[in-house]
Structure formats: structure tokens, C-alpha cells
Chains A and B, each alone.
Chain A
Amino acid sequence: GQQLNQSPQSMFIQEGEDVSMNCTSSSIFNTWLWYKQDPGEGPVLLIALYKAGELTSNGRLTAQFGITRKDSFLNISASIPSDVGIYFCAGPRSNAGNMLTFGGGTRLMVKP
């Protein structure tokens, strides 16, 4: 079945540093979604990507849809303490409309 592998599993960085995480799959995805889950909250959609090679920004966040359609990347520039949380990639299951497959998540910790 479709699986999404996220790396790294966790990161502990200094405030102000840039962050990069990625999501890979053995299957092709036509959509890539990136969510952030704050402690004690539900996941919030950050960025949606719909075209291979697409690069989309949301403030300090930039995500890219890999050309092979089997990967996606999320970068955070100049991290701040409120960037702390778990970042999930997700993609729609094949032939299943709105149903999503989620990656294992990248846990980000930022030291002030």
C-alpha cells in the first residue's frame, strides 16, 4: 500500500536556524499536504501542493512538490519558539477521494 516516510523523526535546533524535512514514498502522489500539530491541538493545514515541481510559500515556510511525484520537502527559515510541534506530510490515497495517508511526523523542538 501507499506509505509515507518522513525524516528526520525529530529535530532539536537553536532559534534562528533554518529547518528542512522531507517526505518520501514508493508510490506517486498527485497532491502533497503539509500539516502542523501544536501540542494539545489538532493538525492544521500549512501548505497544499498540486503540481510536480511546484514551490509554495506560507510566511517563513516553503514546501516543494518533488519532480518524481514521490517526495516533498518542507523548509522553515529563521525558526522561532512557536515553530515547536509535529509536522506531518499527507497525500490522498489512490482511488479514495478525500481519504489521506499520513507520514510518521517530524517532531521539531526549538531552543530559545
Chain B
Amino acid sequence: SAVISQKPSRDICQRGTSLTIQCQVDSQVTMMFWYRQQPGQSLTLIATANQGSEATYESGFVIDKFPISRPNLTFSTLTVSNMSPEDSSIYLCSVGLAQETQYFGPGTRLLVL
């Protein structure tokens, strides 16, 4: 397994602003992922964060709205840009480990007013 931390744990933001969420892992991992979980919903993959190259985005998510950095094998950031109330969600990072498992961080709870 892995120990994953996220900052901030929660935030309330004004529409039109941007928020950067940090994800830190206690060991080097190849695969890191960012998910969105809208209220009462399941997890939706936003993108795979690739170390040393651009993130790979899922259909419906674009780099201009959700820029991602992955400077090394233990850290990644997700920015939610030009926020609107529809961006209010839980944002989760996860890491891919052996045998197709993923381990998740505690999540960042975002409320956009």
C-alpha cells in the first residue's frame, strides 16, 4: 500500500478563481491519477498524471480547465481553473500499485460559490 496526503483538505472558493490541489505519496510510484466525485456520485477519472510528460485526459476533461503537473515520482498537482459552482466536488488523487490496485488520498472537498 501507500500513504497519500492531499492539500487542502477542503476549501470554499469564489467563482472565476482557481485552486491548486497537491498530492504527496510516501514512496515513488509510476502511475498517479486524479478523480472527481460529484455529490452523491461515483468516481470519474479526470486524467492520468505522467511523470515528465503531459497528463492524459479523459473524454470531457481538458488541460485548460484542469492543468496537471507531475514533477517527480512522489508528487502531483491538479488545478481547477476559472471555477464555477458546477465544479463543487470532491477531488481525489490515487496511485496505481501492483496487481491493478489503486490507493486513494483522503480527498479535497471543494465548494464554489
A interface list, Cβ under 8 A from B: 31, 33, 35, 40-45, 48, 50, 88, 90, 92, 97-100, 102-105
Let me know if B101 and A105 touch, CB within 8 A: no
Q: How many A-B residue pairs have CB under 8 A?
A: 56
Interface residues of B, count at CB 8 A: 23
B15-45 contacts to A (CB < 8 Å): 31, 33, 41-43, 45
Chain A residue nearest to B106 in the complex (CB) = A42
Let me know if A42 and B92 touch, CB within 8 A: yes
A99-B33 contact, Cβ under 8 Å, with A31-B99, A42-B92, A42-B106: yes
Cβ-neighbour of B107 out of A31, A42, A90 (below 8 A)? A42
B interface list, Cβ under 8 A from A: 1, 4, 31, 33, 41-43, 45, 48, 92, 94, 96-97, 99-107, 109
Let me know if A99 and B48 touch, CB within 8 A: yes
Cβ-neighbour of A88 out of B43, B100, B103 (below 8 A)? B43
Residues from chain B with a CB closer than 8 A to the CB of A104 are 41-42
Cβ-neighbour of B99 out of A48, A88, A103, A105 (below 8 A)? A48
Let me know if A99 and B45 touch, CB within 8 A: yes
The smallest beta-carbon distance between A20 and chain B, in angstroms, is: 20
The smallest beta-carbon distance between A51 and chain B, in angstroms, is: 12
